[in-house]
Amino acid sequence: MTRTSRSTKALVLCLAAIGVLTAMDLGTKQWALERLSEPSSRASDPVCEPNEYGRTEAQRRQRQPVVLIDGLLEFRYAENCGAAFGFMRDMPSAVRKGVFYVAAAGAVVLLLWMFVTGRGGRLFAVSVPLIVAGAIGNFVDRVKLGYVVDFVRFHLDDRWAYPTFNVADAWITIGVALILIEGFMDGRREKRGAAKRAEAPAS
């Protein structure tokens, strides 16, 4: 199957979307820093490293959360030393940072290369700016702050709470979901095509 590289216009639109989506993520994180937190005198030094008591103290103190739906959805400040939804937060700092930086750079380069060279269909093309923007947004936080700012919290009163996340995490999740949906749809099309070929009379 011959692939056709995507047009310059498509690449420009992709890069513009990445810029807008990244700005949305960083803007909401800055709002969370200013509105949902305040400086703390107990901050860990170095950032995200345990103190002499084995505890990792937050760099900033939580303010009162902004409740959107009582008992269900609120904006509450949190600091994430791990990956999306807190994954790998307990790994050694040097290992964690190395994994994050390599993974983020690798994902951005690979996805943009696949986009430019015409890989994937329409859903993949939509997913690329979402995933790349999410990776860049969280990468900027790690370089600038040493951790990622999270603030979106779904919960059922005090009985259950989904891991606190941010807009970048949402972009990445949506992008990955689109890729999975496209893969599922492509698989079904291939099965239907194979079935038709099997049913066709031999010439």
pTM: 0.84
Domain annotation covers residue 2 = no
The b/e string for 150-166 (b: 16+ C-beta within 10 A; e otherwise) is: bbbbeeeeeeeeebbbb
Q: Is residue 203 part of a domain?
A: no
Query: How confident is the model at residue 144, as a pLDDT?
Result: 93
Between CA 197 and CA 142 the distance in angstroms is 52
In a domain, 198, yes or no: no
Active site residue 150: yes
pLDDT of residue 87: 59
Residue 136 has a CB neighbour count (10 Å cut-off) of: 21
Output the pLDDT for position 27: 98
- Clarify whether 169 is annotated catalytic: yes
Q: Which pLDDT belongs to residue 86? A: 53
Q: Which domain holds residue 129?
A: 8-188
The number of domains in the chain is 1
What token pair was written down for 86?
A: 């807190």
Find the catalytic residue in 25, 90, 141, 169. 169
Q: What residues contact residue 121 under an 8 Å CB cut-off, 6+ apart? A: 182, 186
pLDDT score for 92: 64
Structure tokens at 101: 């930086």
Instruction: List per-residue pLDDT tens for the chain, 203 residues long.
Output: 457 889 999 999 999 999 999 999 999 999 999 999 999 888 777 787 777 676 778 899 999 999 999 999 999 999 998 765 555 556 666 677 788 889 889 999 999 999 999 999 999 999 999 999 999 999 999 999 989 999 999 999 889 999 999 999 999 999 999 999 999 998 888 877 777 777 766 55
> 42 near 57, Cβ under 8 Å?
yes
- Does any domain span residue 201? no
CB 41 within 8 A of CB 15: no
Per-residue buried b or exposed e for 18-31, using 16+ beta carbons within 10 Å of the residue's own CB: beebbebbbebbee
Options 45, 90, 150, 186, the catalytic residue? 150
Do the domain assignments include residue 74? yes
Residue 161 lies inside a defined structural domain of this protein: yes
On whether residue 197 sits in a domain, the answer given is no
Residue 34 pLDDT? 97
- So what's the pLDDT on residue 49? 75
199 found inside a domain: no
Amino acid at site 122: R
Region of 5 (left: φ > 0; alpha: ψ -120 to 50; beta: rest) is beta
Number of neighbouring beta carbons within 10 Å of residue 78? 21
